Structures are given as structure tokens and as C-alpha cells.
């Protein structure tokens, strides 16, 4: 310690590294609720899909699009949301840690702020938080593949969870339900739902099966697709429509 006056700011700053995202690529920031398995239990979410919880996520995503104008598209399912920034965005000079952190913190704040609106009778027991990461996609085609991947994930998880919770609600233990479903193919799961529970999978709400797209339309209004049961397009199709 030579005294405060001797510290050179350039020297201290030199330890920070530049984490700039590749120029001229689509930046996707994906956020995901931390330990939402527990959060959803503590807050008594309806299983497998709590519609109010999904609507709260969607409402927070709308707020994110309104706040950060460089975000052109978003896709959400369960406790996750992917935000797509336009290709030529200069938001925070494309520094990853700043971009991710502002989106994650804004989303988390909104989630807490809007909680009461979606769960008027239920106390928020503890503060939820989200993690986030940024990935660059070099072309709109690859970005569409990314969106298709998230949407397939949504479908597979939803199909599994729908079967799992029907089995549990019909009296099986969680372990039994898990064993019962081990290795079953998609066809088998749809059959199971039809034959044992009289459920036609394709008739379940589209928001549960396909997730939700949020984007600006040509009239510069925000569209929330699949919320409320409208017949929807795929996430990729919705994204293409914004190009």
C-alpha cells in the first residue's frame, strides 16, 4: 500500500476482460428460473401447467420488450424465456455480461412486481431469481433452428409431464409414475392419455403444447401468440414474420 494517490486507474481496469459478442449476429439471451421445481411447489402451481404462472412469465416478457427496444422477438416455455436482439444491435456495445445482467435483473424485478396481479390470493413466499446466458447465432436460419429446438423441448417435456401428473393424480406415487413412463415413445404417451384418461393431447391448450412467442408486429404493437388459445404458428414462423 503506497497510498491511494499512487493507484493508476488504467492498471486496475486492465484486469477486466472484454466480453464482446460477435458483431452482426443474432444475440439470444435465455433466462431460466432457478430452482423453480421447488418454487412451483411452494407456491402451489397447478401441475403440470399453471396457466397463471405462464401468463405472469409472458407479461414480464412483454415488459422486457417494451423496455429494451433492440429485442425483436421472444419465446417462452415453463420457467424460461429466450430474448432475441436484432443482428446489428449496439446495446452495451454488445458486451455479454452487461446485456445478460440487465435483462435478467429487469425480468426478475418485474416478476416480483407483477406477482400480485396474477396471484392476488397467494403470498410471494420468497424472492425468485433467474440465471441467464447469451449465445450468438450467425444467420436467421440457424436462429430458426434454435427456436425449433426450444419448441421441441417444450413439446417433449409437456407430453411427459401431462402423462406423469395424470398418473400421479390417479393414485400412483411419483416413483411409480416415473418407472411407468421410462422409455415410452411419443406415440405410446398419446395412447396412454387417450386410453387411460380420455385425453386428446392435441386438444390441450396450445400455450401448454407450444410455448409463447412475443414480438413486435408491423403496426409496432406487441403480439403475445398462443396466450388465450388462439390457433398459433410455430415460434420459427412467428419469427420469420418479423423479418
The contact set with Mg ion (CB under 5 A) reads 32-33, 36, 78-80
H/E element, 98: helix 96-118
DSSP β-ladder status, 71-77 and 26-33: unpaired
Applying CB under 6 A, what is the total number of residues that bind ligand ATP? 15
- Give the one entry of Mg ion, ligand ATP, none that residue 56 binds, where binding means its C-beta sits below a cut-off of 5 to 8 angstroms depending on kind: none
- Give the one entry of ligand ATP, Mg ion, none that residue 40 binds, where binding means its C-beta sits below a cut-off of 5 to 8 angstroms depending on kind: ligand ATP
- Give the one entry of Mg ion, ligand ATP, none that residue 221 binds, where binding means its C-beta sits below a cut-off of 5 to 8 angstroms depending on kind: none
Task: Sort 36 into a burial class: Cβ within 10 Å, 0-12 / 13-18 / 19+.
Answer: middle
Closest distance of CB 196 from Mg ion, Å: 28
Closest distance of CB 33 from Mg ion, Å: 4
Q: What part of residues 36-75 is at the interface with ligand ATP (CB under 6 A)?
A: 36-37, 40, 45, 47, 49-50, 53-54
d(CA 63, CA 72): 13
- Specify the residue, 32 or 70, whose C-beta has the smaller distance to ligand ATP: 32
For every residue of 132-145, DSSP letters joined together read: EEEEEESSHHHHHH
- Give the one entry of ligand ATP, Mg ion, none that residue 54 binds, where binding means its C-beta sits below a cut-off of 5 to 8 angstroms depending on kind: ligand ATP
Q: Closest Cα partner for 147 from 234, 232, 219, 207? A: 234
- Specify the residue, 101 or 178, whose C-beta has the smaller distance to Mg ion: 101
Contacting ligand ATP (CB under 6 A), which of 26, 33, 118, 201? Answer: 33
- Give the one entry of Mg ion, ligand ATP, none that residue 104 binds, where binding means its C-beta sits below a cut-off of 5 to 8 angstroms depending on kind: none
Region binding ligand ATP by CB under 6 A among candidate stretches 31-39, 132-140, 147-155, 194-202: 31-39
Main-chain phi, psi angles of 173, to 5 degrees: -75, 165
Q: Which three cell numbers stand for residue 185?
A: 415413445
Closest distance of CB 154 from ligand ATP, Å: 11
Q: In what order do the strands lie in the sheet with 130-137?
A: 130-137, 26-33, 80-85, 71-77, 212-216, 222-225
Closest distance of CB 37 from Mg ion, Å: 7
CA atoms within 13 A on the CB side of 62: 16
Q: Which three cell numbers stand for residue 42?
A: 411452494
Where does this chain bind ligand ATP (CB under 6 A)?
Answer: 32-37, 40, 45, 47, 49-50, 53-54, 78-79
Amino acid at each position: 500500500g503506497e497510498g491511494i494517490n499512487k493507484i493508476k486507474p488504467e492498471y486496475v481496469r486492465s484486469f477486466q476482460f472484454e466480453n464482446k459478442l460477435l458483431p452482426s449476429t443474432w444475440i439470444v439471451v435465455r433466462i431460466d428460473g432457478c430452482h423453480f421445481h421447488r418454487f412451483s411447489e411452494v407456491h402451489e402451481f397447478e401441475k403440470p401447467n399453471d396457466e397463471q404462472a405462464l401468463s405472469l412469465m409472458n407479461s414480464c416478457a412483454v415488459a422486457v420488450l417494451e423496455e429494451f427496444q433492440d429485442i425483436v422477438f421472444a419465446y417462452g416455455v415453463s420457467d424460461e424465456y429466450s430474448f432475441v436482439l436484432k443482428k446489428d444491435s449496439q446495446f452495451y456495445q454488445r458486451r455479454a455480461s452487461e446485456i445478460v445482467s440487465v435483462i435478467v435483473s429487469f425480468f426478475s424485478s418485474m416478476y416480483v412486481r407483477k406477482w400480485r396481479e396474477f396471484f392476488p390470493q397467494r403470498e410471494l413466499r420468497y424472492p425468485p431469481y433467474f440465471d441467464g446466458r447469451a449465445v450468438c447465432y450467425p444467420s436467421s436460419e440457424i436462429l430458426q433452428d434454435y427456436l425449433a429446438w426450444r419448441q421441441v423441448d417444450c413439446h417433449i417435456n409437456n407430453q411427459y409431464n401431462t402423462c406423469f401428473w395424470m398418473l400421479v393424480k390417479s393414485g400412483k406415487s411419483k416413483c411409480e409414475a416415473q418407472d411407468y413412463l421410462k422409455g415410452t415413445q411419443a406415440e405410446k404417451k398419446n395412447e396412454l392419455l387417450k386410453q387411460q384418461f380420455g385425453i386428446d393431447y392435441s386438444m390441450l391448450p396450445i400455450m401448454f403444447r407450444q410455448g409463447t412467442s412475443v414480438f413486435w408486429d408491423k403496426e409496432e404493437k406487441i403480439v403475445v401468440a398462443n396466450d388465450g388459445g388462439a390457433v398459433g404458428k410455430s415460434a420459427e414462423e412467428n419469427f420469420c414474420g418479423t423479418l
